[in-house]
Chains A and B, each alone.
Chain A
Amino acid sequence: AQKITQTQPGMFVQEKEAVTLDCTYDTSDQSYGLFWYKQPSSGEMIFLIYQGSYDEQNATEGRYSLNFQKARKSANLVISASQLGDSAMYFCAMREGGFGNEKLTFGTGTRLTIIP
């Protein structure tokens, strides 16, 4: 089974609207971390937000928030008030296990296009 599943290969969203990018994960570990990265057309990978499995509150970073639903094993990224500069590939990633395991497994990504 895929450890990280991003079911939306592409999304088109009107500027200023909110957008939700889906991510589901599969792990039997109790301790894990979930990450979102942005990859614009220029190619760099930019870290956006992190959620730990024991974090009780959903993570937020500026216009980014992570809708963490542990029982459903989902970690959706929400971007509020989308901007043209948000057009990019977005990757969800997971780190499993506790201290000492630093490997990230990435999903296949969602290409987000913001329409003016």
Chain B
Amino acid sequence: DAGVIQSPRHEVTEMGQEVTLRCKPISGHDYLFWYRQTMMRGLELLIYFNNNVPIDDSGMPEDRFSAKMPNASFSTLKIQPSEPRDSAVYFCASSNTYSAQFFGPGTRLTVL
């Protein structure tokens, strides 16, 4: 089975531009998570979904960030407008209920 798929793997953009990160979870998993990893703040949970419904978005830093899960096999994390402090590695992970989370390879975002 394929693991969690994320695209793009690397993204370089300029401040003010819109950025869209994409994730395909493992087939059959009913939870999907978005994390951000930085040297300063470590690994932070941004939002997670259960059966395509957002359950907890308390980690979303501000209104510039939004996430959607239109179906069981696809999710997006959008930043609009992007700022240099958004530079980080963004991970998507998926899991079944009460089981380990499996992470995608991450998207390294650089905002200039």
Task: Tell me the bound Cα distance from A96 to B17 in angstroms.
Answer: 37
Q: Which residues from 33 to 61 on chain B have a C-beta closer than 8 Å to any C-beta of chain A?
A: 33, 42-43, 45, 48, 50, 55-56
* Binary flags per residue of A67-94, CB closer than 8 Å to B gives 1, else 0: 0000000000000000000000001000
A-B contacts at CB below 8 angstroms, number: 44
Stretch among A8-16, A17-25, A104-112 lining the B interface: A104-112
Take A43-B89, A43-B106, A44-B106 as given contacts and tell me if A104 and B42 are in contact as well, using a CB distance cutoff of 8 Å.
no
- Closest residue of chain A to B106 (Cβ to Cβ) is A43
Whether A45 and B103, one on each chain, are in contact in the complex, defined by CB atoms closer than 8 angstroms, is yes
Most buried by B among A33, A104, A108: A104
Interface hub of B97, B100, B108 (most chain A Cβ within 10 A): B100
* Interface core residue of A47, A50, A109 (most chain B CB under 10 Å): A47
**12 cross-chain CB contacts under 8 A:** A43-B89, A43-B108, A44-B106, A47-B100, A47-B103, A99-B97, A102-B31, A102-B55, A102-B95, A103-B45, A103-B48, A108-B42
Query: Residues on B close to A: CB < 8 A?
Result: 31, 33, 42-43, 45, 48, 50, 55-56, 89, 91, 93, 95, 97-98, 100-106, 108
**13 extra A-B contacts, CB within 8 A, seeds A45-B106, A106-B43:** A37-B103, A43-B105, A43-B108, A45-B91, A46-B103, A47-B102, A50-B100, A99-B97, A102-B48, A102-B95, A102-B101, A103-B48, A104-B45
